[in-house]
Structure 1
Amino acid sequence: MKFLAVTYGLPYPLSEGCKIRDHSLLRAIAQEAEVHLLSFCKDDRFPSDLGPLPSFCRSVETYSPPAGRPATALPAHLAAGRPLATFPFYFPDFADRISELAQSHQVDVVQLEHSFLAPYLTAIPPACIRIQSLHNIGERQYASMARMKRTSPAAWLKAMAMRNWEAAWTRRFDGVIAVSEAEAEWVRRQAPQPPVCVIPNGVDCGSLQPLPEPEAGNDLLFIGTLGYPPNADAVRWLVDAILPRVRTQVPDVRLVVVGRNPGADLRSLAETGAFELHPDVPEILPYYRRCRLSLVPLRAGGGTRLKILEAMALQRPVVSTSIGCEGLAVSQGEQLMIGDTPEALSGQIVSVLTNQVLRQSLVRNARHFVELNHDWPALGRRQCAFYNQLMANHRSAA
């Protein structure tokens, strides 16, 4: 099988969840297929470091869109039936390159990552299996952000618009990859035609070995891109509503926040001593080593959380909201602790910090859970099996 992945951003360095997912699955798929990679690099316009990608991809190519695109191109974009939201991501010469690569490498499967690359579907040669990979469902993501803000009608309008065009484009593909069963159900309701395969987020259990407990301290770890509004909200919620309650019972607790692109408000808050901020770190393991548990107090968002799986693999206890662990087949008190109010979350944090037997039970169960359900090599094999089945169906229908 020959496979062309079209990604938003080069999946290296592994600085955020979508890059980790793309990189890890490509590496796993390369064990069974010839992999070619084409990356749309809108933010990192001229990436020079490809890291290990050439070691498992037969070819790696990046595309940097021209700066200052004129608004006069918008009418033609809309006239072609493409959604307004995808205008910043659609460039005819990138579409041409997808078609050229698919034909020159004689690929069998072309996969577009993220819904805003969906209009490039029309560039894929008809002989190829066309796959849409949804890292999250835009409607679900923006609806949860609207519920968080409550006073912002713009988020609700965006959620409704996303539902309409995501559904319309998704149903045109030959197959869909979803990150959770909940998001797969959305696809089956809104776009019932294409088959859906659930490929959850994962970890490399072989490289992420369990860490010993820290010898001292009660440091709490939050990891996430801080330019993403739900993550920034989670940090503020921790500082304002949750940690003061925890400190009444565990006075030496300290919050350690690791994440790129913090806003000025979070930087200012960190300068007051409310938490320890590390915005640009080359290696995350030292922070896991020093922290006693990992926090995921999200009140909005979509997809599934790589940070939870990573903490579980490293045997760090996790305390999360229901939204934070949405899409993972976990149970309260088994693999992690869950709370959705400041009172409940603070109580769960205190329970984990003060109960060693509970900590040991949680991390043992959690490590077994990720080994069984979320190891990248096994997920890659499942994804290849999905492609092979679609290819077989395509041949039999021809």
Structure 2
Amino acid sequence: MRILWLSHLIPYPPKAGVLLRSYNLLLQLARVHDVDLLSFVQMGYLETFYPSYESGIADTRQALSAFCKHVEFIPIPSEQRPLGKYFLAAKSLFTKKPYSINWLSSPLYSKALSRLVAENRYDIIHFDTISLAPYRLFCPSVKTVLDHHNIESHMMLRRAENAHLLARPYYWQEGLRLRSYERKVCSHFDLHITCSELDARRLLKVDPGLYVKVMPNGVDPLYFCPSGRSTADKTVIFVGSMNWYPNVEAMRYFISAVWPALKREVPDAKLHVVGAHPPRSLLDLAQLDPSITFFGFVSDVRPYLEEATVYVCPITDGGGTKLKLLDAFAMGKAVVAHPIACEGINAKHGENIMLATTAEEFVSRIRELFADSSLRGVIGGNARKLVLSNYAYDSIGKDLCESYERLCGLGSEIKR
């Protein structure tokens, strides 16, 4: 089959949640089918991983061209001028479409897409977020697939519940307008894929008539694999991009509500936070406590994961599934997490994860794991088994290819 993959970001390098999912699904499709990529450029990701725009564009183009037949990048208009996103957010309060849709409006992208569709006979066009849905108009007579990394309206409404009082009305109206937009456009796509059964149910509440398949987030268990490195004593770790609001709020809560209580019971405990762009407010808190270390972006997170005693994920916001948890599972780590952080992952308390909903429970679970290496081994070992049986990208990729082939009526005709 010939597939065109439309993306809201350059899906490389595979070192953060959305990048991991998009890169691996794209790679799995390209192993069997001919895939072209038309991608927007999100400057924030390039700035995180590369010293310059030019080097980032060159490296990502080379890496993706290794398995994509055609690779083309388009800048995001609002990123081309100072404070462009803020002006667009304000303007979007008075437009028919919400900011989350207006964000990727681009004449250059429209022109590039029209050209590719005219020059090629695509069997399927993949839209990697609902923010790209307006470009469905440029794809007549082609099967279309919409990927939902999150159910965006649900995530925005949840954010409204947790936001500062002054910000709450903005997120609330954005969430309601997104839900209205989802109801209007989702039926125009032939197939929807979600990260979890939970997100599939959320999407079907928006429109019960949609054709939805679950393609879970995954992990490469050969890459994320314990190497036998020794574990540091009484060390807690959290991994996540620190410019994403659920991660920031999770660490703000953990450092202010959980960490002081844990330190009273385990005075020599240490907290390691790994992830790019930690905000000044959190760095200031860490300066007051030498047991807290922010490492920023690291090129290889595996040594940090393996050396930690316990992995924590106190996230109570966002949507989709948390790939950071799957990485920790694959590394055989004992994880303590809030139930919301585990949404979409078939994990069970006391078997392959420890769940906590209050500061007191986080302290109790972490202290228990600190004290019992056998329990850590059992929880971590079961977590890796869960990944191997349910969340390896090779098997997820096979399911994705088969779903696309069935959509085009090809079935078993494809040779692998």
Gaps of 5+ in 2: 47-52, 412-416
State the partner residue of 1:49.
59
Answer yes or no: is 1:137 the counterpart of 2:151: yes
- Give 1:37 deviation, angstroms: 1.1
Bigger mean CA offset, 36-45 vs 299-308: 36-45
Matched, 1:153 2:169: yes
Opposite residue 48 of structure 1, the aligned amino acid is A
Percent of paired sites with the same residue: 28
Counterpart-to-counterpart distance in 2, 1:75 and 1:251 = 51
In structure 2, the partner of 1:286 is 303
The match for 2:137 is 122
Deviations 1:290-339 (A, max 9, x none): 21121110121111010000011111111100111111111111110001
In structure 2, relative to structure 1, the CA distance for the partners of 1:241 and 1:6 (3 Å cut) is same
Alpha carbons of structure 1 residues 356 and 162: separation in structure 2 relative to 1, 3 Å = same
What aligned pairs does 1:174-213 form with structure 2 within 5 A after superposition? Answer: 174-212=190-228
Q: Is the 8 A contact 2:192 2:210 kept in 1?
A: yes
Is residue 2:365 matched to residue 1:351? no
Q: Does the CA-based 8 Å contact 2:98-2:174 persist in structure 1?
A: no
Contact 1:218-1:252 within 8 A present in 2 as well? yes
C-alpha distance in 1 between matches for 2:219 and 2:42: 27
Give, in whole Å, the separation in 1 of the partners of 2:112 and 2:37: 12
Query: How far apart are residue 215 of structure 1 and its match?
Result: 4.2
Residues 191 and 92 from structure 1, CA distance in 2 versus in 1: closer, same or farther, beyond 3 angstroms?
Answer: farther
TM-score normalised according to structure 2 size:
0.87
Map 1:22-171 to 2 at 5 A.
22-43=22-43, 44=46, 47-50=57-60, 51-66=62-77, 67-68=80-81, 82-124=97-139, 126-149=140-163, 151=165, 152-171=168-187
Native 8 Å contact 1:214 1:291 kept in 2: no
SS at match of 1:262: coil
Residue 252 (structure 1) shift? 1.5
2:278 touches 2:296 (CA, 8 Å); kept in 1?
yes
CA distance in 1, matches of 2:332, 2:99: 44
For residues 19-74 of structure 1, what are the alpha-carbon distances to aligned partners after superposition, in whole Å with 9 as ceiling and x for unaligned? 111111111112221111111114247622125322211121111144248989x9
Q: State the alpha-carbon separation in 2 of the partners of residues 159 and 82 from structure 1.
A: 12
Note if contact 1:29-1:35 (Cα within 8 Å) is conserved in structure 2. Answer: yes
Q: Is the 8 Å Cα contact of residues 102 and 110 (structure 1) preserved in structure 2?
A: no
3-state SS of paired residue (2:126): strand
Q: Does 1:273 align with 2:289?
A: yes
Q: What is the DSSP-based 3-state SS (H/G/I as helix, E as strand, rest coil) of the residue aligned with 1:323?
A: helix
| Most deviating of 147-156 and 184-193 | 147-156
Aligned-pair CA distance for 1:273: 2.9
Aligned with 1:48: secondary structure?
helix
Contact 1:7 1:39 in 2 (8 A): yes
Contact map agreement 1:41 1:63 (CA 8 A) in 2: yes
Q: Is the 1:172–1:194 Cα contact (8 Å) retained in structure 2?
A: no
Q: 5+ residue gaps in structure 1? A: none
Classify 1:189/1:319 alpha carbon distance in 2 versus 1 (closer, same or farther; 3 Å): same
Which of 228, 243, 248 lines up with 1:232 in the alignment?
248
Q: Is the 8 Å Cα contact of residues 231 and 306 (structure 2) preserved in structure 1?
A: no
Cα offsets for 1:99-154 (capped at 9, x unmatched): 32234232211111112111111112x23211111111112212222222363333
Shift in CA distance, 393/157, structure 1 to aligned 2, threshold 3 Å: farther
Q: CA RMSD in A?
A: 2.5
**Residue 380 of structure 1, CA deviation:** 0.9
Q: 1:83 to 1:123 in 2, by over 3 A?
A: farther
